[in-house]
């Protein structure tokens, strides 16, 4: 069996066992790096348009095409500085870490996509996006002021409902 190593050397002539060991040595780190990296990223199971439509339905909001949908930025592909610049005027301070947020002035959603963050029970990236979409509808459609604390309560309820209906539908069915 001929096998070209990472640096292009042919290891065939070194003998079977040396060849196999060399193959493991060059393949294993790359494979572990790839799966490790992708395993650390939480990915949406649902299309953002679907999530937005479900959130709008629950909040009794009729979506209008003339109102722009927010741009979504995930942590792994967004410089921290961009998030800080976006959120600082709204929060009146510059956070040191990325977090889930809806930035009203820019109509942007920032979303953590670190799988470790969503390892806690009841947390999913789809649910978090539903939460931020709730804030988007509150601001852009219902003209609410995000300083109102009841808006957070509503967003949390929308997030829970979305997860029960779509992310964990079997749990919801068992409860009915």
**Chain residues in the site for Zn ion (CB under 5 A):** 152, 155
The SS3 of residue 174 is helix
Helix axes 150-162, 125-140, angle to 10 degrees: 140
CB of 154 to Zn ion, least distance (A): 9
- Closest among 37, 5, 38, 35 to 22, alpha carbons compared: 5
| Residue nearest Zn ion, Cβ-based | 155
First to last CA, the chain: 59
CB of 159 to Zn ion, least distance (A): 8
Residue 110: half-sphere exposure toward Cβ, Cα within 13 Å: 21
CB of 55 to Zn ion, least distance (A): 12
Q: Which is nearer to Zn ion, 114 or 152 (CB)?
A: 152
Q: Which is nearer to Zn ion, 86 or 155 (CB)?
A: 155
Q: Which is nearer to Zn ion, 47 or 148 (CB)?
A: 148
CB of 102 to Zn ion, least distance (A): 7
Q: Which is nearer to Zn ion, 19 or 127 (CB)?
A: 127
Kindly state the helix (H) or strand (E) to which residue 83 belongs, with its residue range: helix 80-91
């Amino acid at each position: 069996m001929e096998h070209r190593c990472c640096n292009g050397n042919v290891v065939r002539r070194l003998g079977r066992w040396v060849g196999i060991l060399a193959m493991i040595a060059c393949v294993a780190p790359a494979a572990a790096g790839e799966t490790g990296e992708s395993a650390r990223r939480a990915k949406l199971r649902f299309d953002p348009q679907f999530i937005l439509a479900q959130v709008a339905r629950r909040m009794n909001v009729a979506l209008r095409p003339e109102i722009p949908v927010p741009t979504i930025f995930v942590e792994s592909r967004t410089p921290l500085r961009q998030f800080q610049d976006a959120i600082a005027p709204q929060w009146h301070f510059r956070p040191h870490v990325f977090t889930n947020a809806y930035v009203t002035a820019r109509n942007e959603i920032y979303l953590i996509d670190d799988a470790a963050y969503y390892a806690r029970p009841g947390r999913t990236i789809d649910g978090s996006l539903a939460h931020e979409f709730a804030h988007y509808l509150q601001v852009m459609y219902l003209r609410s002021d995000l300083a109102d604390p009841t808006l957070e309560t509503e967003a949390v309820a929308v997030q829970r409902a979305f997860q029960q209906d779509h992310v964990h539908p079997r749990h919801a069915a068992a409860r009915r």
